[in-house]
Copies of this chain bind each other. A is one copy, B any other.
Amino acid sequence: MDRVAIIGASMTQFGQRDAWIRELLAEAGVAALSDAGVSPDEIEHLYVSNMASGEFEGQTGVPNALAHDLAAMPAYTARIDQTSSSGGAGVYAAWQSVASGASNMTMLVGGEKMTHRTTAEATDVIASLTHPVEYKHGVTLPSFAGLTARLYLDTYDAPRESLGKVAVKNHKNGLDNPHAQFRKEVDLETVLDSPIVADPLRLYDFCPITDGSAALVFCPESVAREYTDDYAVISGIGGATDTHVVHERADPTTMGGVVNSSEIAYEMADLGPEDIDVAELHDMFTILEFLQSEDLGFFEKGEGWKAVEEGVTDRDGELPINTSGGLKSKGHPLGASGVAQVYEIYKQLIGDAGDRQVDADVGLACNVGGFGNCVTTTIMESR
């Protein structure tokens, strides 16, 4: 079977941007077309990963506007929303469009414009994804993170410091990412002394509110070869849900969506966790990096924290995680994040990751919606 290749990618500066969603999407779209050497009229399908342009900005129909702005008309367009994993869902949609034969050239642009709203307003829009009863009780996603972190530390006898070290590592990686929102190192003391948000988690355990976008160009591998030698292929991809209501989970320290989506992806790729050379995980909260690294099979349950303590997931470690800086330092513009994860893996696999470059032939991106409510896992290989 002709595999699905990625032949071009881009991401904008993440952070506080003086641009509306439409402008952010167009900025990444134009850059990805240029990177791929593809002209707009070659695009057959154009997908937009975005959670809430209507709620944030009062603007819907954004995919159609983007087709105009990129001069990609009459390309088919649609918006893919899976809350904070809209980007990963967009990657899956783009993969399906090519693998089904519906499109020979698909562009995905993910983006979100959030910082013009207050943090409380933005958190409220995000919290609209939770069950109405959770919402009424004030259990927003940061609250779940606090509760789960406490449970994890108690259950697996992990030190509070290990969570802080995730933030320290990812900030250090973000220093070398020119697109990251925060390009500054933080030390463990700063993390541990930062204002408390949801005990035991503090400010530096959380990703910021961010504007930004990222884009990818997909086509069959047979077509990719006509454009470039520098492409990567998606060899496995899968998605899965966990309970909509978090308290229904037998063990909240296990993310069922991560387990199930990665099983599908590993089987499709005919690979296992031991084959992964580099990974981008959804560190919206530091605790999530532990949970995902375990549920993806990288480490035994309850041992993810040890890997961080021992430097295994550092950029020069055995399995670098979040070389991009992760959501923690790069920022988390909801619809863009899953796309930017795949951007990072793509750059690592084609050897174009600059100062962040690691030695990798196989990479994995795991994008989490809600508190693990829906997850997509993508495995990519250098050609």
* Chain A residues close to B by CB (< 8 Å): 45, 51-52, 54-55, 58-61, 63-65, 67-68, 72-83, 89, 92-93, 95-97, 99-102, 125, 128-132, 237-245, 256-257, 260-261, 369-370, 373-374, 376
Contact residue among B55, B60, B257, B370 (Cβ-Cβ distance under 8 Å from A129): B60
Copies of this chain held together in the complex? 2
Residues of B close to A72: CB separation below 8 A? 241
Instruction: From known contacts A79-B82, A99-B101, A99-B102, infer whether A131 and B74 are also in contact, taking CB-CB under 8 Å.
Output: no
The 10 A-B pairs of least Cβ separation, nearest first, read A61-B129, A76-B239, A99-B100, A68-B244, A100-B100, A74-B240, A79-B81, A96-B96, A96-B100, A78-B89
What are the residues of chain B within 8 A of A260 when measuring CB–CB? Answer: 74
Residues of B within 8 A of A369 (CB): 61, 64
- Bound CA–CA A97/B97 (angstroms): 8
- A83 contacts which of B61, B74, B129 (Cβ < 8 Å)? B61
Distance in angstroms between the alpha carbons of A100 and B125 in the assembled complex: 33
Docked pose: A374 CA to B240 CA in angstroms: 29
Secondary structure at the A interface, as helix, strand, loop or mixed, is mixed
Given A73-B242, A73-B243, A76-B239: 13 more A-B contacts, CB < 8 Å: A54-B54, A54-B125, A61-B244, A61-B369, A61-B373, A65-B244, A68-B243, A68-B245, A72-B241, A74-B256, A75-B240, A77-B374, A80-B80
In whole Å, how far is A67's beta carbon from the nearest beta carbon of chain B? Answer: 5
Task: List, in ascending order, chain B residues with CB within 8 A of A65's CB.
Answer: 131, 244
Q: State the Cβ distance, A1 to closest chain B Cβ, in Å.
A: 8
Nearest Cβ on chain B to A341's Cβ, whole angstroms: 17
In the bound complex, what is the Cα–Cα distance between A81 and B78 (angstroms)? 6
| Shortest Cβ gap from A44 to chain B (Å) | 9
Q: A59-B132, A83-B60, A100-B100 are in contact. Are A93 and B95 (CB under 8 A)?
A: no
Do residues B238 and A61 form an inter-chain contact, with CB atoms below 8 A? no
CA distance A99 to B96 in the complex (A): 8
Q: Which residues of B contact A76 (CB under 8 A)?
A: 92, 238-241, 261, 374, 376
Residues of B within 8 A of A257 (CB): 74
Docked CA distance A102–B81 (Å): 18
CA distance A99 to B99 in the complex (A): 8
List of B residues within 8 angstroms of A80 by Cβ: 78-81
Smallest CB gap from A72: residue in B = B241
Nearest neighbor of A45 in chain B, beta-carbon distance: B239
